[in-house]
Each structure stands twice: as C-alpha cells, then as structure tokens.
Structure 1
Amino acid sequence: MTPQEEIEALIARVAMGHRKSFRELYERTSAKLFGIASRVLRDEAQAEEVLQEVFLRIWHRADSYKANGYSPMTWLITITRNAAIDRLRRARREGTATEPVEIAERLYDPQPGPEARAVERDEARVLNECLDELPDDRASMVRQAYLQGMTYAELSESTGVKLNTVRTWLRRSLLQLRECLSR
C-alpha cells in the first residue's frame, strides 16, 4: 500500500469514528501541517492552536473527503492553510494581528502546489491507464459515476442498463481498478 493509500485508509477509518486511526493520522501528518500553519502565521503558539482546530475539523469532516485523484495530503494541507488564513483575518478584524495579513493572503493559494500537481498528474495518468484496461462501457460508467458525480439511477436511465447491473458492473470495475492500481 502506498503512503497515499495508507493516509486515505486512515481518513476513511476516522470518518467511522476510529480513534486509533485518528491518532495515527495525527502522528503521520501533524508535523507537516504544523509547518504549514507556522509558515502562514509566523507564530508557533497560534500554529499549535490552529493545528488543534484542524484536527477537530478532520475528526468531524473526515467523511467529506473523497478519493478523487487528489492526494489526501492536499486535502489536509488545504484545511490547514484555510484555518491559518482564517485565524489571521480574525486577528486583523479584532486588531490583534502581529504580522501583516496581506502577506499571508498572498501566500494563500487554494490550488495544489507544483509538487502536488506533479503527483496528481502521475496518479491521474496511472488511473487513466487502469481505466483503459476496462471495457469501454464500464470505464465510461466509472468516469460518469466517480468523476462526474452521476448516480447509479442516472447511469441506468442514460445507458438503458438495469440498475442492479449498473451496481454490479461498477463494483466489479472498482475491484479491477484497485487491483490494477496496486501493481
């Protein structure tokens, strides 16, 4: 299992309320997330507070993470960066900002950085190669369901394939994709 898959699995277990997985996710990611918060806030004490807020958000919103080709670290970093920027903006409104907020706002970029984009491109290439191994109709259904957000019922209606058959095809296709991605 790749590090990305391990973090995705931890996030999935956190979404189910698994405390040990939450602890492991914290141990594996907190140093990097703390570094990001520190870089934005330029204050270790505030960065520690933001990190606590971030992990509370992760605990409560882990079920909103979707493995959609983006690195799970990108999701975690985005939450951290947004929380740090929110903290700076709140400090500016309250008149307690010690660093110019404009600097942090210029640093703020909700898009993945160059390294994350390179990883995403590579992961997308591998995923597309695996999708190409599926029959065309199944690959199309997987793309429509998991990349375009179509429901099983919508797929059934648009393709004329029975709903239970759509479910079966998608389940089998995902198993094939998992196998392909693990090679």
Structure 2
Amino acid sequence: MLDENKLQQLLFECAEQRQAALSELYTLTSPKLYGVARRLLQSHPQAAKALQEAFVYIWYRAFEYTPDQGRPFAWMTSIVRNQAFRLMRLETSQEKRNHLLLGEREVYMRNDRFFDEYHARSNPLLKELQECLDELEPSQRHAILLSYYYGYSQYEMVNKLKHPVGTLRAWIRRGMKRVRSVCDAYQ
C-alpha cells in the first residue's frame, strides 16, 4: 500500500527540483504505474515509453500538483494514462500515414506523378501544383511531399529516407524556393 503523505511530500520536493525525491518517487510508484500503462498499451516498449514520459512530465510539472486536486497517486496515474493515450493516438496516425504513403508511393514511383490525371483535371490548382512539383528534382519533391503533405517530422523523414537532417532541410529549402519561382511564373 502506498503512503499518500509520503508521495505528496516527494512531489513537493520534485517541485523544488530535488533529484533524490524523483528517484524515490519512481522506486515507490513505477511498478503500479507501469501496470496502468501496460494494460492500456498492451506492449512492453510502449508502456515503458509512456512511463518514462510521464515521469519527465512529473519532474517538470510537479509544482502544479496541489492536495485539493486529489491524492498524489491518482494525479500521477492520470498523467500516465494521458501519456499512454497520446502514444496510442500517435501510433494510429503514424500507421495511417505509413499506409497512405505506401499507397501513394506505389503511384509516385510508377509514374513520378503526385496527383492522378483525374484529380488534376477536376481541380486546376492541383494541376498547377503538379506542374510546379514536376520542375523539382525527385529528392526535393519527395522530401517536400513527406514534410508538407504527409506531415512527417524531420526525425521521421531521416528514418524513412536515410539521409542526414541537414540534407533533408536543404532539399526542402531549395525545393520550396524552386516551387515559388515556378508557381510565380504560372501566375
């Protein structure tokens, strides 16, 4: 059984940035909090990640805890749950993006066209955008589409394209400069 008074005192000490308090708080509560994350996420790596992120949050936000909000362990449990739900949403959106990307990549690799002809004919702006994108080098076009259309972060792009972040930034910067100049010529 957890001593709520002890947990409350440790949270107050964490608010004062005492690392020993965080360490003791982790030792006392992590097994039960891990169980909460594990039940929600059904995965050891994801549960461990949620727990880690929850304790980082607790470390930086311990000053927000007040006893009138409820018991300390309940407050910490809600943080772990929120982190677990955030990871679930992130995983779902990444799976959707990856699924979309695989489908789009097949079309993209097959004919190096981003929009199919039907959509380009039905929307003149898409046709213009496709013409602007056609002016780019394939590496620039791919980096821009991953970043702006699919919403990939720089870290995700590095993992996906296997190029350094500086290279990807340069491709995007040069590609966007080229798109602006080409699209300005269309207007």
Give the TM-score normalised by structure 1.
0.50
Deviation at 1:3, TM superposition (A): 1.0
**CA distance change for structure 1 residues 9 and 44 in 2, over 3 Å: closer, same or farther?**
same
Q: How many Å separate the matches in 2 of 1:4 and 1:69?
A: 13
2:66 aligns to what? 66
2:53 aligns to what? 53
1:6 aligns to what? 6
2:17 aligns to what? 17
Could you tell which deviates more after superposition, 51-60 or 65-74? 65-74
What stretches of structure 1 move > 2 A for 4+ residues in a row? none
Letter in 1 for 2:21: S
Map of 1:70-109 to 2, 5 A cutoff? 70-95=70-95
Deviation at 1:33, TM superposition (A): 0.6
Letter in 2 for 1:22: L
Q: Identity, % of aligned pairs? A: 33
Bigger fraction of residues in helix: 2
**Whose relative contact order is higher, 1 or 2, with alpha carbons under 8 Å and at least 6 apart?**
1
Structure 1: tracts of 5 or more residues without a match: 97-183
- Structure whose CA Rg is larger: 2
Q: How many Å separate the matches in 2 of 1:90 and 1:64?
A: 25
Q: How many Å separate the matches in 1 of 2:70 and 2:57?
A: 19
Deviation at 1:69, TM superposition (A): 5.8
The residue matched to 1:68 in structure 2 has which SS?
Answer: helix
Q: How big is each residue's C-alpha offset from its partner over 1:62-88, in whole Å with a ceiling of 9 and x where there is no partner?
A: 000011161111100000001001100
1:111 aligns to what? none
Deviation at 1:15, TM superposition (A): 0.4
1:36 aligns to what? 36
1:180 aligns to what? none
Letter in 1 for 2:61: R
- Matched positions, count: 96
Deviation at 1:4, TM superposition (A): 0.8
RMSD of aligned residue pairs (Cα, Å): 1.7
Letter in 1 for 2:42: R
The residue matched to 1:95 in structure 2 has which SS?
Answer: helix
Letter in 1 for 2:82: N
Letter in 1 for 2:10: L
Q: How many Å separate the matches in 2 of 1:42 and 1:20?
A: 31
Map of 1:157-168 to 2, 5 A cutoff? none
Give the TM-score normalised by structure 2.
0.49
